Homo-oligomer: A and B are copies of this chain.
Amino acid sequence: MEESIPAGSVKLKETGSLLTGKFTTATDVSDIDALVSKALEYKADPYKDSQLGARKRIGLLFLNPSLRTRLSTQIAARNLGMEAIVFNVDKEGWQLEFEEGAIMSGSTSEHVKDAAPILGSYFDILCIRTFPSLVNRTDDYSELYISEFIKYCGRPVISLESATLHPLQSLTDVITITEQTLQRPADFKGRKPKVVLTWAPHVKPLPQCVANSFSQWMCAWQGKSEFVISHPGEYELAPEFTNGARIEYDQDKALKDADFVYVKNWSTYNDYGKIFENDPSWMLSVEKLQLTRQAKVMHCLPVRRNVELSDEVLDSTHSIVTQQAGNRVWAAQAVISELLRR
């Protein structure tokens, strides 16, 4: 490996922070490898900073449901000694207004301009999950919801998945790839891992967040991997997030010699939010994995078995999805600790 992956070797300046003051996109991170190292240090010693968050509170606001993200973030905060409070927003009871100047005589009951500062006064860090509509691309890609929270709450904001990105998932993914390469140094001696993001079939239209975000992070993790995206032609991702990636429409070619295969469905970006082709042959199978270098298979979960990925793959030693989901805790812990240190 020409450029060694520096887990454990980075010395953080005690006074600096690896983050801009929020965590909603790869561009908030000044040094991805340093953040990964931090996460792996927490994995080795979860309670090393168990007093860092004492008498601090983190609020987890879910405008959309969550399992792994909620639990891993709650656990990460508690490991740092923070109080974590979850609030699932009942759409009936608390519909937020985001439009400037709205005459609120309709169904929305509170404006983000009023809600966000209160939440900012209750919490030291605010985490928010908000999904895209998949109806209006301009609205979704403007990231209005999370941007307005950032604008009005006055606190560091962590995205728990927004309309277009899922940075805690992507940091987790880089941690997992790093960890794998560190565990098998001989395999990666003198070469970069080949990482392939491949589209997979699904039964309903899903957001592009995980794919956008993984691509954004892989491109930002410059020079550390050979990154390829593969999908049927209609499923182009937003160019702003794939800038620097190689696109290969032939899945077999893409998989050739891959070390890591990230499997994920997403709906169309161009003719927005739709399922066009849903060719079952794009499902990753053990046969296809023979094209790879015994690739490890990743997925953010939940996964539709025998639709996105075959049982055979998921139940084989190729799959690292459980390790990957476990790493969600350490990603969140690294991010929260950096925001606390500011």
Hey, which bits of chain A sit against chain B, CB under 8 A? 47, 55, 57, 59, 65, 67-68, 70-72, 74-75, 78, 83, 85, 87, 90, 93-94, 97, 101-106, 109-111, 113-115, 117-119, 121-122, 203, 301-307, 311, 314-315, 321-322, 325-326, 329
A109 pairs with B304, CB closer than 8 A? yes
Name, among A67, A94, A113, the residue most crowded by chain B CB atoms within 10 Å (CB to CB): A67
- List 6 A-B residue pairs with CB atoms under 8 Å apart, sorted by A's residue number: A57-B75, A57-B78, A109-B302, A113-B305, A118-B325, A121-B322
How would you classify the secondary structure of chain A's contact residues: helix, strand, loop or mixed? Answer: mixed
What residues of chain B lie closer than 8 Å to A119, measured between beta carbons? 71
**A97 CA to B117 CA, complexed, in Å:** 39
**CB of A153, distance to nearest CB on chain B (Å):** 11
A74 pairs with B85, CB closer than 8 A? yes
**CB of A101, distance to nearest CB on chain B (Å):** 6
Nearest chain B residue, comparing its CB with the CB of A329: B122
Name, among A74, A302, A307, the residue most crowded by chain B CB atoms within 10 Å (CB to CB): A302
Q: Among B85, B94, B97, B307, which residue has its beta carbon within 8 angstroms of that of A103?
A: B307
What residues of chain B lie closer than 8 Å to A115, measured between beta carbons? 67, 301-302
Q: Please state the number of chain copies in the assembly.
A: 3
Nearest chain B residue, comparing its CB with the CB of A304: B104
What residues of chain B lie closer than 8 Å to A55, measured between beta carbons? 47
**CB of A50, distance to nearest CB on chain B (Å):** 8
Known: A71-B87, A75-B122, A329-B122. A97 touches B322 (CB 8 A): no
Nearest chain B residue, comparing its CB with the CB of A74: B85
B85 pairs with A67, CB closer than 8 A? no
A122 pairs with B71, CB closer than 8 A? yes
A121 pairs with B87, CB closer than 8 A? no
Nearest chain B residue, comparing its CB with the CB of A302: B110
Q: Among B93, B105, B321, which residue has its beta carbon within 8 angstroms of that of A114?
A: B321
Q: Among B68, B93, B102, B326, which residue has its beta carbon within 8 angstroms of that of A305?
A: B102
